[in-house]
Amino acid sequence: MTLARLQGITLSGLSGSLIDIEVDVSNGLPSYSLLGLPDATLSEARERIRAAILNSGFNWPNKKLTVSLSPAWLPKSGSAFDLPIALAILIATSQIEGKSVNEKLFIGELSLEGGLRPIRGLLPMLISAKHHGFQDVIVPRDSYGEAKVLKELNIVALPNLKSVIAHINGSERFENPSLFDLKESERKKDFSEVSGQSEAKFALSVAAAGCHNILLIGAPGTGKTMLAERLPSILPPLTESEAIEVAGIHSIAGKLNPREVISTEPPFISPHHSTTIPALVGGGSNLIKPGACSLAHNGVLFIDEAPEASLGILDALRQPMESGEISISRANQSAVFPAKFILVLAANPCPCGKFSGRGRNCECSSHQIRRYLGKLSGPLLDRIDIRIKVDAPTRAELLTDHSETSEMFRNRVLTARNIAAERFLGERFNTNSQIPPNLLRTRFRAKREAMSLINELLDKEVISARGYHRILRTAWSISDLAGSGSPDRTAIELALSLRIGLGSE
């Protein structure tokens, strides 16, 4: 009996767990047994590994093979175990030396000819490997653009199984592909391309300053989608740690091209209104994948034609909107993904979309209009801080040269964010939308006349308790943009007008 041991990583959400891979070769009828709650991808690995070993010039043992993945109670998924299992088999059958592999981590899917293919979720696996004390990691060559982001690790990117074995034996040295640098992507869509809409642009700058959710209501063709698509252009660029976290989520979902530069631009995710709940919040029967709300982490989630979404779809966002993360549970596993996003909803004012201005062309009854907008549930709307009406630009606005660019708005947002960061120094949060309710009534109180106004509105049941706190948070963002310190009565009035959809700058 010969035994070989290596280690691998399996993911649950963005968290990785260390897996012991043990291979036992013993006398008996030729067979291959895989133990340790493998999924279908892992169970099918036998033929991939066998063909890769044979086509790389090595022998497949004509004995009883037992592969154990420990801990046995933890479900394992993915094809990243192909490479370490193949190496463990070769070590157990004395075809290669195993002295120098125990401190290395091997990650990669094998092709039938022995090539190494990229896998999903490589970046969070590497982050987990770093936390578990690994320094040397071998990855597929085509994944080097993703792996090299973690500069603390010694990454070796190799093309196939034969090159991995040559690297282990020290018989050949390999050069990694050319390096890419983490840098900010070019911003292509600009606010200057949107005619007029000064009120909506101001509302979006408030949303960007404090990470507030926003609803845009307007007739077709008024620029709702254009405005939403340009919101990322006025958000602060992601920090290096934020960009890596976002890239890790996209890597698990298979949305990250490993040859592209990891961007510091906040993500913009726009699922169709006919999307399903699993596609929106995440799910899956075997490997739990992140949904659109997690892909929009640290960025913008935009849903156009929001009232057309099926019943319950948008309400599934209520929990991540409050907690900033989404927890997905299945019968044999669960996963938690971060989901801190700015939600932007766009809606027509009525089913035909013509109930704007004087509404002369609208043929919808008042009952149809109420029923249409009533598809946005009260609990969901209560979590929307800003509701703005988007009117069609006038002829004069269409002919006017647009001078205010996204850079101008972004500079104001950055200044407001810096003011908030100084105020929240030492706290667990860094944006106005995250201020806890108890601190809004104590440390981060508005001015006396402002508090008197909002308390009066609460007593008259004009606003709910959640609305009370959200108006205060929006008022802080307005004050930060103006650089005026604590919110005064004017800031509260403006925050209230933005919340009930009658805002004006």
Domain housing 136: 2-169
What is the SS3 assignment for 218? Answer: strand
Mean pLDDT of 220-236: 93
pLDDT at 449: 93
pLDDT at 155: 93
- Rounded to 5, what percent of the chain is helix, strand, coil? 40, 20, 40
pLDDT at 504: 36
> For residue range 451-475, what is the model confidence (pLDDT) as tens digits?
999 999 899 888 888 889 999 999 9
Alpha carbon distances (Å) from 500 to 129, 149, 487: 49, 44, 18
- Residue, of 110 and 288, whose pLDDT is higher: 110
pLDDT of 359 > 60? The answer is: no
199 and 143 within one domain: no
pLDDT at 482: 93
pLDDT of 71 > 90? The answer is: yes
386 and 488 within one domain: no
pLDDT at 151: 85
Whether 423 maps to a domain, the answer reads no
pLDDT at 216: 94
369 and 263 within one domain: yes
CB 16 within 8 A of CB 129: yes
Please state, in angstroms and rounded to a whole number, the distance separating the CA atoms of residues 148 and 140. Answer: 12
Mean pLDDT of 227-237: 95
Whether 165 maps to a domain, the answer reads yes
Phi then psi dihedrals of residue 491, to 5 deg: -65, -40
442 and 348 within one domain: no
pLDDT at 345: 96
> For residue range 372-392, what is the model confidence (pLDDT) as tens digits?
888 888 889 989 999 999 988
475 and 387 within one domain: no
Residue 358 pLDDT level (bands cut at 50, 70, 90): low
265 and 222 within one domain: yes
CB 21 within 8 A of CB 115: no
376 and 269 within one domain: yes
312 and 203 within one domain: yes
- Residue, of 325 and 402, whose pLDDT is higher: 325
Mean pLDDT of 206-234: 93
pLDDT at 260: 57
Mean pLDDT of 444-455: 92
Please state, in angstroms and rounded to a whole number, the distance separating the CA atoms of residues 448 and 475. Answer: 14
pLDDT of 425 > 60? The answer is: yes
299 and 244 within one domain: yes
Taking residue 2's Cβ as centre, other Cβ atoms within 10 Å add up to 13
The CB-based long-range contact list for 240-244 (8 Å cut-off, 24+ gap) reads 240/182, 240/264, 242/298, 243/182, 244/123, 244/127, 244/149, 244/150
Taking residue 259's Cβ as centre, other Cβ atoms within 10 Å add up to 13
143 and 17 within one domain: yes
pLDDT at 332: 72
- Domains of the chain: total: 3
> For residue range 117-129, what is the model confidence (pLDDT) as tens digits?
999 999 999 999 9
Mean pLDDT of 344-363: 79
pTM of the model: 0.89
- Domain's final residue, options 169, 200, 225: 169
For CA atoms 367, 370, 374, 379, the dihedral sign is negative
Whether 237 maps to a domain, the answer reads yes
* 349 preceded by a cis bond (ω within 30 of 0): no
pLDDT at 461: 86
Whether 489 maps to a domain, the answer reads yes
